[in-house]
């Protein structure tokens, strides 16, 4: 392999809508660290919310997003440099295609020590904290010793490899739902995460899988990926349809993956008494509701879902065996220099996934 450059191109986030492509120092591997050359990095809904200034990322005296930082957490790449002991620690070699979890766990808090690393109290995330967790909107990126590295076999295509992170989150969400054979499942949202959940829920063989979305193109893809029925709530009374299908009771499981407050209120009304409501989305605004629905009226099982703990190997195996598909996901791929145009394209609901490729 040729000698690595001292400098590289990277997108730097300074403030809402103040992102720039710059020439910066290429990261170098200290002991236990791995440097990868980025093959591709997706644009996530949370990246869009951060770019447009959501308080979740920029709010308060000590914002969670630490700038200037290189964004991007849906990345994969090729190992180009190994720090001392890294090959043995991570069981990787130069030239391996790899990825890692979105979170960079501290390894010291009560959650990390008990194996629940995805809830790490420090909660540094690749693509959100400057200097200590730079992301994949760059030519090269550093993976730290506490991160688990996952090798990607040659059987997994470029498009599939670029979707491993969101698919891993989808696996965890479906696991949290604990779907049974006789369940009527409603999934709200047919973006990257929702389409992945659609495929995974279908593998659970519920009685019926209903997917909701406001975009007809996404609903067509949901049908191709396994939905038994699709509904556009802007055109039909989704709550009435679901209740009519279930003798007035409502669905057994409702998974919220829209990122819209309306999706929450809709689900709480649509799910049956003693049903399960799983929340995945990142919201750009607060959501309010009548909490008596959750307790006094329905005694619901409300579950959150965060990241993709222990699920990357599952996704890679399902892709390797041809059981998960990326068909119809990747709309367009842009160079780093064109990241602003890529962000605009990512806003178009007809585009499921937009990638940046150095």
Average pLDDT value for residue range 138-167: 97
Same domain (yes/no): 104, 127: yes
311, part of any domain? no
What percent of the chain clears pLDDT 70, i.e. is strictly above it?
99
Q: What is the CATH number of the domain that holds 189?
A: 3.40.50.720
Same domain (yes/no): 88, 215: no
Same domain (yes/no): 330, 212: no
- pLDDT score of 282: 83
Same domain (yes/no): 182, 121: no
312, part of any domain? no
349, part of any domain? yes
pLDDT at residue 273 greater than cutoff 80: yes
Bridge partner residues of 133 (DSSP): 129
- pLDDT score of 319: 98
Is the CB of residue 213 less than 8 Å from the CB of residue 230?
yes
CA dist list (Å): 153 to 97, 284, 313, 335, 352: 7, 36, 11, 25, 24
Q: Among the listed ranges 219-228, 256-265, 276-285, 306-315, which one has the minimum average pLDDT value?
A: 276-285
Same domain (yes/no): 130, 185: no
For the stretch 94-151, pLDDT in tens is 999 999 999 999 999 999 999 999 999 999 999 999 999 999 999 999 999 999 999 9
Same domain (yes/no): 81, 100: yes
Same domain (yes/no): 12, 118: yes
For the stretch 218-252, pLDDT in tens is 999 999 999 999 999 999 999 999 999 999 999 99
- pLDDT score of 2: 67
Domain of residue 137 covers: 7-163+326-356
Distance CA 272, CA 290 (A): 16
Is the CB of residue 173 less than 8 Å from the CB of residue 191?
no
The better pLDDT of the pair 268, 282 is held by 268
Q: What is the CATH number of the domain that holds 21?
A: 3.90.180.10
2, part of any domain? no
With bands split at pLDDT 50, 70 and 90, how would you rate the model's confidence at 306?
very high
- pLDDT score of 148: 96
309, part of any domain? no
334, part of any domain? yes
Sort 161 into a burial class: Cβ within 10 Å, 0-12 / 13-18 / 19+: buried
1, part of any domain? no
Is the CB of residue 247 less than 8 Å from the CB of residue 226?
no
Q: What's the whole-number average pLDDT of the chain?
A: 96
Same domain (yes/no): 210, 343: no
Same domain (yes/no): 181, 296: yes
With bands split at pLDDT 50, 70 and 90, how would you rate the model's confidence at 285?
confident
Distance CA 99, CA 50 (A): 23
Same domain (yes/no): 141, 223: no
- pLDDT score of 140: 98
Helix (H, G, I), strand (E, B) or coil at 134: coil
* Number of domains into which the chain is organized: 2
- pLDDT score of 37: 98
pLDDT at residue 165 greater than cutoff 60: yes
- pLDDT score of 1: 54
224, part of any domain? yes
Same domain (yes/no): 12, 151: yes
Same domain (yes/no): 174, 158: no
For the stretch 180-225, pLDDT in tens is 999 999 999 999 999 999 999 999 999 999 999 999 999 999 999 9
């Amino acid at each position: 392999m040729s000698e690595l450059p001292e400098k590289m191109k990277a997108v730097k986030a300074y403030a809402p809508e103040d992102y720039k492509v710059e020439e910066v120092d290429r990261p170098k591997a200290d002991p236990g660290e791995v440097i990868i050359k980025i093959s591709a990095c997706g644009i996530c809904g949370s990246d869009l919310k951060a770019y447009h200034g959501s308080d979740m990322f920029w709010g308060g005296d000590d914002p969670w997003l630490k700038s200037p930082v290189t964004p991007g957490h849906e990345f994969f790449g090729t190992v180009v440099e190994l720090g001392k002991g890294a090959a043995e620690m991570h069981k990787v070699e130069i030239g391996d295609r790899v990825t890692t979890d979105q979170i960079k766990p501290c390894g010291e808090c009560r959650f990390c020590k008990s194996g629940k690393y995805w809830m790490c109290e420090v909660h540094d995330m690749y693509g959100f904290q400057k200097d200590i967790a730079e992301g994949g909107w760059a030519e090269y990126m550093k993976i730290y010793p506490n991160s688990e590295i996952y090798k990607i076999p040659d059987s997994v295509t470029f498009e599939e490899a670029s979707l491993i992170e969101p698919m891993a989150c989808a696996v965890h969400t479906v696991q949290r739902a604990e779907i049974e054979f006789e369940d009527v499942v409603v999934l709200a949202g047919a973006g990257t995460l929702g389409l992945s959940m659609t495929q995974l829920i279908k593998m659970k063989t519920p009685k019926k899988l209903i997917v909701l979305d406001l975009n007809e193109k996404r609903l067509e893809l949901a049908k191709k990926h396994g939905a038994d029925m699709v509904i556009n709530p802007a055109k039909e009374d989704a709550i009435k349809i679901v209740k009519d299908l279930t003798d007035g009771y409502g669905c057994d499981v409702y998974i919220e993956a829209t990122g819209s407050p309306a999706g929450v209120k809709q689900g709480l009304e649509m799910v049956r008494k003693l049903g399960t409501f799983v929340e995945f989305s990142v919201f750009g605004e607060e959501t309010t509701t009548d909490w008596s629905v959750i307790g006094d009226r329905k005694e619901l099982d409300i579950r959150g879902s965060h990241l993709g703990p222990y699920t990357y190997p599952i996704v890679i195996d399902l892709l390797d065996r041809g059981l998960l598909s990326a068909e119809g996901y990747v709309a367009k791929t842009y160079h780093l220099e064109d990241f602003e145009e890529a962000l605009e394209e990512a806003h178009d609901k007809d585009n499921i996934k937009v990638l940046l490729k150095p």
